[in-house]
Chain A
Amino acid sequence: MSTVTMEQRKRIHPHKFTLWVGIGSLLMMFAGLTSAYIVKRNQANWQTFDLPQFFWYSTVAIILSSVTIYLAEKAFKQRMMQKYRSLVVTTLVLGILFIVFQLLGFQQLWAKQVTLTANVSYSFMYVIVGLHAAHVLGGLIALIVLFAKAFSVKTRSYNSVPVELVSTYWHFVDVLWIYLLIFLILIR
């Protein structure tokens, strides 16, 4: 059953709006964690550490993936399906690279004795970065669905809403990562 009437089509699509509200909600979770970080930092026993090199590689990967998904969305709307498919695949690969770089970064830190339990500042970093990675994983699942749809021969979709939703979410995790990176660099 369609839940959208003609009258409502003039407004922003309800699913897109839901996503925006959801993004607000996710932001609150990270706001909670980063403010807890700030509160904790001002108390005793807080050790600083340098972020691993791999976090810079992952930053490049996720920024590039944001560009590719933007182009993918544009290609989909222009019905350039061949281009769309390859861009979705590129985004997916870049997303996976991001996760791999984050894990390598964790390994680098761990090797330098920056472990989960050694100091509360380390714990915070692992929880915050890890939780962000979990949200990127969620985005990857959505990308895989788009990927499967794009290569499906049976169904042909002309509805751009799913693509736009995934794209918005992907930009969100990108911007969120940049915020977290700057936060972790500036506030130590």
Chain B
Amino acid sequence: MSSAATLQHADVHVSHDAHHEHHHHETFITKYVFSQDHKMIAKQFLVTGIIWAIIGGLFSVIFRLQLGYPEATFPWLEDLLGHWAAGGKLKPEFYYALVTMHGTILVFFVLTAGLSGTFANFLIPLQVGARDMASPMLNMLSYWFFFLSSIIMFCSLFIQTGPASGGWTIYPPLSALGDASTGSILGMDFWLVSMAMFIVSALLGGLNYITTILNMRTKGMSMTRLPLTIWALFFTAVLGVLSFPVLLSGAILLLFDRNLGTSFYLSDIVVAGKILPNEGGSAILFQHLFWFLGHPEVYIILLPAMGMSSEIISVNSRKPIFGYMAMVGSLFAIAILAFLVWAHHMFVTGLNPFLGSVFVLLTLLIAVPSAIKVFNWLTTLWRANIRFTPGMLFAIGFVSLFISGGLTGIFLGNSALDLHLHDTYFVVAHFHIVMGVASFFGMFAGVYHWFPKMFGRYLNNTMAYIHFWVTIVGAYLIFWPMHYQGLSGMPRRYYDFSSWISFNQFSGLNEFISFVAMIVFAAQLLFVFNFFYSMFKGRKVTDSNPWGANTLEWTTPINPGHGNWPGEIPEVHRGAYDYAKDGKEFIPQDVPVGDDESKH
């Protein structure tokens, strides 16, 4: 048992760094606000992410109202949004603003900062056996840059001309010219400044994660003994550190074009009969810079979900993960390929067809490591003694969504098919399932699994099961029909489809999708209630290792202080997946290898 292992460490003589414990007085400000404890910073990221998720989710419900009920008016919308919904009907400009902000918020603020910000901060020091991050100070700054970025983005929602509305990909010239849309006037500047702060936050975080993993592992924790969560978070950080700066350079050039009259992206543009002075720029150049981040960003979102699901599936299957090295290798392959496929977002930009076919090949190659991962998850589950905890359900849900969404990626990765499918609801369905919902499932799995470690209490299981079933059924009901809409050519980002005869056949389906979206959103509110209720009133954790897991975070006290282990940091003697070995249900990583122990 791990509790025995913990005891064994407790009576070891006081270590050289134990006397650093609690020797400074903690006030409310230093403990909860300007905290340098990685666990508190993780919780700050998580709570900020949840607030953003509610805002971003609510936006999708509002624009789904427009799509599902284009003829109806909702007087309460006017109360909520003022002149943006005059007469209870959403204005087209604000519809675009909502779509743009929904994308921005969910991609960056929730699934990047909320997901890897939370779990990289929380799990890396705990699972590699470190007292904190390599630089707690930079780590704190990482959160506060994110906070600043959040405040700026939040403020942009309230400016008179509205927030950015040129799509989350902010393609110029739409994003570069105030004449293009009201959101491109002041909203776009807010967006760019906010994202610059966000990039700084992501970089500071990423530097710390990489250094901590490579440099601060406890004795015995070789790279091949790392839990898969850490491997995934490591590759995520590498992707972020190498790709975000490129977005920053693209954004800097855009800022120059917007405010200083340069022509990096602008050329031969006529606005209201007048020719703009800008010459010699190329809008496609922005797309290259954007997608050089944009595609790795997909994996920045997805890899943490993969890593956490691998860990949770193994723990709750009571079996070692199938093919540990193959799992690491496939993460590595995905991380490399992530940098080599960006132009598959640009097949219809007039890209050289030969270059296009190279990108098709590289894109389809991602199916290989993805298939390896799916195979290994399924073989881990195969004939396992599965415990259907809420975390496990969400991890299995992740695998299901990753398969469904991944398969449609093979369609879209073909440039010939993409000519027809690009910018249709097929794309919307594909990336929402594989990147949006799947990563959310990874995140939920992580929250349900590590909540006891975070707060010393359990989440309520009944609410958790309702949350899971409504969400997985709802997600499929929302996004599955969109594939058919996209195949029939229904374009994305349109405000109202009712004037096209060819899309009228989908009005009932659109209404159905919007209706389900509202139910799913309500289920998320149930989760939010459960989260905050259980934080204070949930059932208390009494066993330091409630899931019977092997990783080091469960060797800490139930409510670990700053520094994580009261005594010496445990030494690691084995990999993270010694489940069902030699008749033992599980053997934690800090248990020495016995003389008669069989080799795996």
| B261 pairs with A116, CB closer than 8 A | yes
A120 at the interface (CB under 8 A from B): yes
Tell me the A146-186 residues at the B interface (CB within 8 Å). Answer: none
Flag if B260 contacts A1 (CB, 8 Å): no
* Given A40-B282, A117-B261: A14 and B134 interface contact (C-beta under 8 Å): yes
Across the interface, do B253 and A127 meet the contact criterion of CB distance under 8 Å?
Answer: yes
Q: Could you tell me the distance between the alpha carbons of A22 and B238 in the complex, rounded to whole angstroms?
A: 11
Q: Is A120 in contact with B263, judged by CB distance below 8 angstroms?
A: yes
Q: Which of A1, A32, A131 contacts B132 (CB 8 A)?
A: A1
Q: Determine whether the beta carbon of B211 is less than 8 Å from that of A127.
A: no
B562 within 8 A of A: yes
Quick check: which of A42-50, A94-102, A136-144 contacts chain B, the rest being far away? A42-50
Q: Please, how many angstroms separate the alpha-carbon atoms of A127 and B261 in the complex?
A: 13
A28/B280 contact (C-beta < 8 A), A17-B215, A36-B285, A36-B288 known: no
Point out the residues of chain A lying under 8 angstroms from B242, CB to CB: 24-25, 28
| Alpha-carbon separation in the docked complex, A107 to B135 (Å) | 41
Q: Are A31 and B211 in contact (CB under 8 A)?
A: no
Indicate whether A7 sits within 8 Å of B131 (C-beta atoms), given known contacts A14-B212, A18-B211. no
Known: A6-B16, A21-B211. A29 touches B249 (CB 8 A): yes
B20 interfacial contact with A, CB 8 Å: yes
The stretch that binds A, out of B62-70, B202-210, B469-477, B574-582, is B202-210
Q: Is B252 an interface residue (CB 8 A)?
A: yes
B442, chain A: closest CB distance, angstroms: 25
Known: A36-B288, A117-B262, A127-B256. A1 touches B246 (CB 8 A): no
Q: Which of A6, A8, A21, A36 contacts B289 (CB 8 A)?
A: A36
* Contacts of B257-276 to chain A: CB distance below 8 A: 260-264, 267
Residues of A within 8 A of B246 (CB): 28-29, 31-32
The listed residue (A7, A39, A40) touching B219 by CB distance below 8 A is A7
Given contacts A32-B289, A36-B288, A116-B260, contact A22 B134 (CB under 8 A): no
A-B contact count (CB 8 A): 133
B305 interface residue (CB < 8 Å to A): no
B206 CB contacts on chain A under 8 angstroms: 21, 25
Known: A14-B212, A120-B280. A29 touches B245 (CB 8 A): yes
Instruction: Please name all residues of chain A whose beta carbon is closer than 8 Å to the beta carbon of B256 when the two chains form the complex.
Output: 116, 123, 127
Taking a contact as CB atoms under 8 Å apart, the answer to whether B280 and A44 are in contact is yes
Partner of A25, one of B17, B132, B207: B207
Q: How far is the CA of A116 from the CA of B264 in the complex (A)?
A: 11
Asked if residues B243 and A28 are in contact (CB atoms below 8 Å), the reply is: yes
Question: A24 near B241 (CB under 8 angstroms)?
Answer: yes
- B42 interface contact, C-beta 8 A: no
The residue that B215 contacts in the complex, of A14, A24, A29, A116, with Cβ under 8 A, is A14
CA distance A91 to B563 in the complex (A): 39
A111 is an interface residue with CB less than 8 A from chain B = no
Question: Which residue from A14, A25, A116 sits with its C-beta under 8 Å from B203?
Answer: A25
Interface size class for chain B? 35 or more
Q: How many residues of A contact B (CB 8 A)?
A: 40
Chain B residues within 8 Å of A8, by CB: 215-216
B170 shortest CB reach to chain A, Å: 16
**B250: CB under 8 A from chain A?**
yes
In the complex, what's the smallest C-beta–C-beta distance from A33 to chain B, in angstroms? 5
B264/A32 in contact, CB under 8 A: no
- Counting chain B CB atoms within 10 Å of each CB, which of A30, A31, A123 scores highest? A123
Complex-state Cα separation, A3 to B569, whole angstroms = 12
Cβ < 8 Å to B, chain A residues 1-15: 1-8, 11-12, 14-15
Chain B residues near A32 (CB, 8 Å)?
Answer: 245-246, 248-250, 289, 292
Whether A119 sits at the interface, judged by CB under 8 Å, is: yes
A30 to B253, CA, bound (A): 12
Q: How far is the CA of A131 from the CA of B249 in the complex (A)?
A: 10
A8-B215, A29-B248, A117-B261 known; A21+B136 contact, CB < 8 A: no
Cβ of A21 and Cβ of B210 under 8 Å apart?
A: yes
Residue B481 at the A interface, CB < 8 A?
no
- Distance, CA A179 to CA B242, complexed state (A): 19
Q: Contact between B218 and A7 (Cβ–Cβ < 8 Å)?
A: yes
Please, how many angstroms separate the alpha-carbon atoms of A44 and B138 in the complex? 44
A26 interface residue (CB < 8 Å to B): yes
Given A3-B131, A3-B133, A24-B241, 8 more pairs with CB closer than 8 A:
A1-B562, A18-B211, A36-B250, A45-B267, A45-B279, A116-B256, A117-B261, A123-B256
19 A-B contacts (beta carbon < 8 Å): A1-B20, A1-B562, A5-B131, A11-B215, A14-B134, A21-B206, A21-B211, A22-B203, A24-B242, A28-B243, A28-B245, A39-B282, A43-B280, A45-B280, A119-B280, A120-B263, A120-B264, A120-B281, A123-B262
Closest CB pairs A-B (n = 10): A29-B245, A14-B134, A45-B280, A32-B246, A32-B249, A123-B262, A28-B245, A120-B280, A117-B261, A18-B211
